[in-house]
Amino acid sequence: MHLKRMLTTAVLFAALMLFALPCAAAGPDGITSEAYLVACADTGQVLIQKNAAEALEPASVTKIMTLGLACEKAQGDWSVQLTVSHDDVHSLYGTDSSHIALQEGEVLTLEQLLYATEISSANDAANVLAEYVGGSIQGGVDAMNAKAAELGLVNTHFANPHGISATDHYTCAADLAVILRWAMQQPGFSTLFSRTEYYPMPATNLQPNERAFWLQDKMRISGNSHCIPTITGSKIGYTNSARYTYACTAEQDGVRLICIVLKSNMVTEKYADVGNLLSYSFSHFRAVTVSGTALPAITVKGGGAAIGTIQGSAPAYTVLLDSALDESAVSCTAPDATYLLGGSLPTVTYTVSGGGVQEDAAVTVPVSLQGLAELLAAHKGDRLAASLAAHKAAAGGRILAWVLGLGCALCLVLLWLRQNRRQRRRAARKPVAKPREIGYDIRNRDTIYKPEGSDVREAPGRADMGRKDWKHL
């Protein structure tokens, strides 16, 4: 089970790796947005891009991260009830903010807040989701930045969960593509992201009337002049400084794409740019599956020693290639022929040489291992080299401890004997005062002595004698 979980984690991590490479490739003409990126939704392979690493304001596209974290925490259970706090509402005062008029103390389900955030882009609902994720609005923001760091994003920093403009709130097209691919793998997010029908929110403890949310993205509303049928899910954004921002997924003929557009000055320019980018990508790129190949024997090591060898193979992999390229544009780099137990799985790297017609790209994926479970089962209970060394070191340490303990005990005995001998010598050298004779016991015919510092009447053995029974000497 542990091995299975480790393999699954490795595959997920590899699937999230998106490499935008420095070589600029041809793309559609007439794109006016400041930055854009189109990538394969399945692999993260970048197809075309412009200024994809430039840090820009995302506006409400920010909410993709907020929604993804809430879905990740909920794991499909959207029935939990959440209470609107003072900060959820009052932190938005003075801002030109989209909201659904939540009230402090109002109780809603997680599902209601998710759809309010996605469809109505409600900033107050996004605040409640942040509190759900991190315990407070700031805690939720900290979780957003932590997830960005975990995904390896270097041009992203969040200052809030909703996207209101702030000096330290920014991301880039390449990072947003990674965030969206990660979010799409969280339970329920794809359903949330792709909803087109209106969402009714029933009355709450503080709101007696039903609230209903309608899709706002005109590129997904059937019958609208701006509708693009290939788009399967989206999040829109706008602020005065960020201008129009957009993130979407799209699919046609089995090819699934992510499209990110940042800083379109006019909403009509956003519509035109997204349409041109998707049309160009679907018409120029096709899926090509590179056959898997056998790899040299892989040495399995553990505990500082080799356990044995197993077979590995590069998995078959699908890349998107421009129509001007064929399979020869894809190369596969074999992994290191060693696998350390507990470490990262061996990988292969598929590299696409774009030749100026598409982005150069490289994706690293784990190899397929054959016979690992059997090898581990055959060596179950074996004491590995490192374990043996540790056992010897521990045994040596125990012996050393015994020696040191006995040495300390012997020293203590010797010190005691020395001290005792000194005391006896001092006692032998001390002069003994001779008691003074003070009388004679007539009855017992014995001399009475006066001990040093005592009274005659208290002389030892004479306390019960009368004066008539003794005389002075």
Number of CB atoms found within 10 A of residue 471's CB: 11
Number of CB atoms found within 10 A of residue 103's CB: 13
**Superfamily in which the 31-290 domain is placed by CATH:** DD-peptidase/beta-lactamase superfamily (3.40.710.10)
Q: What's the pLDDT score for residue 315? A: 83
Which residue type does 366 have?
P
Domain with CATH 3.40.710.10 in the chain: 31-290
**At 7, phi and psi to the nearest 5?**
-65, -45
Q: What's the pLDDT score for residue 69? A: 98
In terms of DSSP bridges, do strands 361-366 and 347-352 run parallel, antiparallel, or are they unpaired? Answer: antiparallel
Q: What's the pLDDT score for residue 292? A: 75
Mark 112-124 as b/e (b = at least 16 C-beta within 10 Å).
Answer: bbbbbbbbbbbbb
Please give the average pLDDT of every successive group of 10 residues along the chain, which has 473 residues: 42 43 68 97 94 98 98 98 97 88 97 98 97 98 98 97 97 98 98 96 95 96 96 97 98 96 98 98 92 79 79 84 90 77 80 88 82 78 52 60 74 79 73 55 57 49 49 47
Q: What's the pLDDT score for residue 383? A: 59
Residue at token pair 């004779």: 437
**At 307, phi and psi to the nearest 5?**
-95, -35
In terms of DSSP bridges, do strands 293-294 and 285-290 run parallel, antiparallel, or are they unpaired? Answer: unpaired
Number of CB atoms found within 10 A of residue 7's CB: 15
Q: What's the pLDDT score for residue 367? A: 83
By CB atoms closer than 10 A (0-12, 13-18, 19+), residue 45 is: buried
pTM, full prediction: 0.73
